């Protein structure tokens, strides 16, 4: 068994553990942010961590009503931009805690008196030590180059923080439901079978909207780095504004269609793609969406697309790992990549 597959299977236990270990810190951050009157969130991350941040943005804005922006780190690191972060919660997200650009954003926030938070899997790292607060992913060593368990742990901690900011006890069951739903997806053997079906593809599109949009980005990245296939993610809504012109007969398009407000748009896109002759793989728990193509993969119908985010993440990780093996590749050691990438 590959390290990547082992680490995929560890995720339900990790999320249960990291929530318990960080619960008091999550409450302390929310309390301090409310005391200071924090009005917006500004986060810095790259790659997989950035996709977790995009999910956190959705959670903060929809659950807590807090505007949230992704940092253009080069504004600070290359151009010395004069951003006013004094009223923000500034978050740096990095699995290794060694991302120089996220570190610089945290330092700038500290210099301006902002409330700062780091989320890492390395509590002794520079980023963990620089921020006012730190949330630890509790993942243990991640040996595969492709990040799996650290991605979902980062996203889970951001969701937990957004739930705490919202102050709505009715949201707590969302957090408690996630590990079990992920474990159910892991029992789905059709994911490996569907991956075999696509082993000769040279490119594909991955579409999602709402919380399914950042996970579409992450799935595309996992396919890129594990299989060297030219995967590209788009929002379902953006895909109609030009990119759909690239779809030809038999073009592989993966549509993430969880139950929730974005489902009708996903269903409409599936219909349009089917009419164009695309080879559409639908990932959904919704019976209508699942019945639309022969290549569907059914996930548990969570009835909440924040939970579905984690189900879809597991699907994407399992699909990418299975596709890599079907192509005779090593998903643990993608060519040209290192576990830690340092950018400024």
Angle between helices 305-326 and 149-166 (to 10 degrees): 170
Cβ(147)–Cβ(320) under 8 Å? no
3-state secondary structure 122-149: CCCCHHHHHCCEEEECCCCCCCCCCCCH
**What beta strand segments (E) does the chain contain?**
40-44, 68-70, 88-93, 115-120, 133-136, 203-208, 230-235, 252-256, 279-284, 297-298
What the block records as the tokens of 336 is 């040209």
The residues that are catalytic are 339
Instruction: Give the span between the Cα atoms of 264 and 310, in whole angstroms.
Output: 20
């Amino acid at each position: 068994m590959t390290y990547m597959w082992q680490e995929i299977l560890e995720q339900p236990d990790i999320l249960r553990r990291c929530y318990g270990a960080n619960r008091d810190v999550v409450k302390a951050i929310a309390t301090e942010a409310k005391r200071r009157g924090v009005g917006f969130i500004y986060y810095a991350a790259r790659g997989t961590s950035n996709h977790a941040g995009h999910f956190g943005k959705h959670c903060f804005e929809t659950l807590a009503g807090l505007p949230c922006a992704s940092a253009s780190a080069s504004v600070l690191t290359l151009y010395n931009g004069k951003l006013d972060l004094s009223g923000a919660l500034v978050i740096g997200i990095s699995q290794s805690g060694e991302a120089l650009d996220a570190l610089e954003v945290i330092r700038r926030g500290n210099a301006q008196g902002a409330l700062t938070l780091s989320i890492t899997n390395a509590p002794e790292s520079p980023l963990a030590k620089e921020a006012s607060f730190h949330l630890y992913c509790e993942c243990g060593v991640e040996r595969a180059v492709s990040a799996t368990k650290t991605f979902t742990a980062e996203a889970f901690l951001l969701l937990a923080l957004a739930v705490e900011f919202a102050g709505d006890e009715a949201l707590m069951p969302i957090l408690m439901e996630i590990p079990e739903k992920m474990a159910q997806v892991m029992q789905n053997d059709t994911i490996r079978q569907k991956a075999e079906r696509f082993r000769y593809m040279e490119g594909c599109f991955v579409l999602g909207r709402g919380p399914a949009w950042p996970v579409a980005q992450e799935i595309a990245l996992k396919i890129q780095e594990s299989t060297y296939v030219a995967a590209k993610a788009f929002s379902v809504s953006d895909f109609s504004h030009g990119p759909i012109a690239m779809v030809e007969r038999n073009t592989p398009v993966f549509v993430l269609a969880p139950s929730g407000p974005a489902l009708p748009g996903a269903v409409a896109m599936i219909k349009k793609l089917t009419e164009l002759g695309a080879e559409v793989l639908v990932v959904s728990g919704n019976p209508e969406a699942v019945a639309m193509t022969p290549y569907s993969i059914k996930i548990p119908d969570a009835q909440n697309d924040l939970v579905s985010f984690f189900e879809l993440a597991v699907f994407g990780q399992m699909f990418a790992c299975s596709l890599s093996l079907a192509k005779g590749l090593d998903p643990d050691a993608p060519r040209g990549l290192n576990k830690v990438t340092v950018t400024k």
